[in-house]
């Protein structure tokens, strides 16, 4: 068909497993759990056949359990994760106290789709056309004609120097940077204060960096 459709199964088995590992020594338990997590992550999800959420419960002591909860990003993101975990553990603690869990009414996703269909596409296009009006300069990150790295003796520091020039020929690389707890806590605090995700915060920082490099306030 010409339009995307959502397929909803009338019945779909959940992927829930339980294993009792109380007889294992503590060190062996930790190794087992770590291996299980790595195996689960490597397995990934088959969107066509898999249940898109897996829960594995491991009993490690008489009243101690280790919960491994995996899910595909297509059904749950960081924004709604706290809402779902709040419902799950709220239900769990209610049942422990032999109370009936109280859950808020669920709004069907179809209501959102119906609302979306009623929106004025022309008004939306006019809004963005107006918003982007006057954008003339391509937003580039200055490239490097020459690149040299000088290692400082007896330390883990390295000095990276570059001669910048405008170029659109970039080499894609993945760079991992570990932040200390102070930086991490500050990022989460700012995101929480602004009620945005960490991703939105980082995109905003990236926009400011591009603005400074291009000496231009109009950054797309």
- Whose tokens are 């990934």? That residue is 44
Give the range among 79-83, 99-103, 120-124 with minimum mean pLDDT: 79-83
Q: How far is CA 98 from CA 68, 86, 93, 101, in A?
A: 25, 18, 9, 9
Domain check: are 172 and 99 in the same one?
no
Domain check: are 20 and 100 in the same one?
yes
Is 4 part of any domain?
no
* C-alpha 132 chain-centroid distance: 28
Residues 105 and 99: their CA atoms lie apart, in Å, by 18
Q: What is the dihedral of CA 191, 196, 199, 201, to 10 degrees?
A: -50
Dig out the tokens for 158 from the structure. Answer: 């390295």
Domain check: are 172 and 101 in the same one?
no
pLDDT at 150: 42
**For the chain, percent of residues with pLDDT exceeding 70:** 87
- Whose tokens are 């749950």? That residue is 76
User: What would the mean pLDDT of 160-189 be, rounded to a whole number?
Assistant: 76
Is 98 part of any domain?
yes
Domain check: are 79 and 21 in the same one?
yes
End-to-end CA distance of the chain: 34
Secondary structure (3-state) at 147: strand
Question: What's the 3-state SS for 52-119?
Answer: CEEEEEEEEECCEEEEEEEECCCCCCHHHHHHHHHHHHHHHHHHHCCCCCCCCCCCCHHHHHHHHHCC
Predicted TM-score (pTM) above 0.75: no
pLDDT at 69: 94
Is 126 part of any domain?
no
Is 85 part of any domain?
yes
Residues 155 and 80: their CA atoms lie apart, in Å, by 43
Give the range among 18-22, 56-60, 103-107, 113-117 with minimum mean pLDDT: 103-107
- Whose tokens are 């306030």? That residue is 217
Q: At 143, is the pLDDT very low, low, confident or very high (cuts 50, 70, 90)?
A: low
Domain boundary among 105, 132, 167: 105
Query: In this predicted model, what pLDDT tens digit does every residue of 182-201 receive, in sequence order?
Result: 999 999 999 999 999 899 99
Q: CB neighbours of 166 closer than 8 A, spacing ≥ 6?
A: 140, 142, 143
Q: Please tell me which residue, 34 or 107, carries the higher pLDDT value.
A: 34
Domain check: are 96 and 162 in the same one?
no
pLDDT at 140: 78
Is 138 part of any domain?
no
Q: What is the mean pLDDT of the chain?
A: 85
Domain boundary among 46, 79, 105: 105
Q: Into how many domains does the chain fold? A: 2
Is 153 part of any domain?
yes
Domain check: are 151 and 79 in the same one?
no
Q: Please tell me which residue, 204 or 172, carries the higher pLDDT value.
A: 204
Domain boundary among 105, 129, 151: 105
Is 169 part of any domain?
yes
pLDDT at 56: 96
Q: Please tell me which residue, 136 or 162, carries the higher pLDDT value.
A: 136
State the residue range of the domain holding 43. 15-105
The CATH number linked to 41 is: 3.30.559.10
Is 59 part of any domain?
yes
Exposure b/e, 187-207, CB count within 10 A at least 16 = b? eeeebeeeeeeeeeeeeeeee
């Amino acid at each position: 068909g010409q339009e995307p459709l959502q397929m909803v199964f009338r019945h779909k088995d959940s992927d829930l497993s339980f294993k009792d590992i109380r007889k294992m020594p503590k060190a062996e338990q930790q190794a087992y759990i770590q291996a299980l997590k790595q195996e689960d992550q490597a397995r990934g999800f088959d969107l066509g056949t898999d249940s898109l959420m897996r829960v594995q419960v491991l009993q490690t002591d008489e009243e101690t359990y280790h919960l491994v909860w995996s899910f595909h990003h297509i059904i749950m993101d960081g924004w709604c994760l706290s809402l779902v975990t709040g419902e799950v553990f709220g239900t769990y603690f209610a049942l422990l106290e032999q109370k009936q869990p109280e859950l808020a009414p669920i709004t069907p996703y179809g209501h959102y789709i119906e609302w979306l269909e009623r929106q004025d596409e022309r008004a939306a296009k006019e809004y963005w056309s107006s918003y982007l009006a006057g954008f003339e300069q391509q937003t580039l990150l200055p490239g490097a004609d020459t690149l040299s790295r000088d290692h400082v003796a007896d330390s883990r520091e390295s000095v990276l120097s570059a001669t910048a020039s405008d170029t659109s020929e970039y080499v894609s690389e993945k760079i991992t940077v570990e932040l200390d707890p102070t930086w991490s806590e500050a990022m989460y605090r700012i995101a929480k204060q602004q009620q945005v995700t960490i991703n939105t915060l980082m995109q905003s920082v990236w926009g400011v960096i591009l603005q400074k490099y291009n000496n231009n306030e109009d950054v797309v």
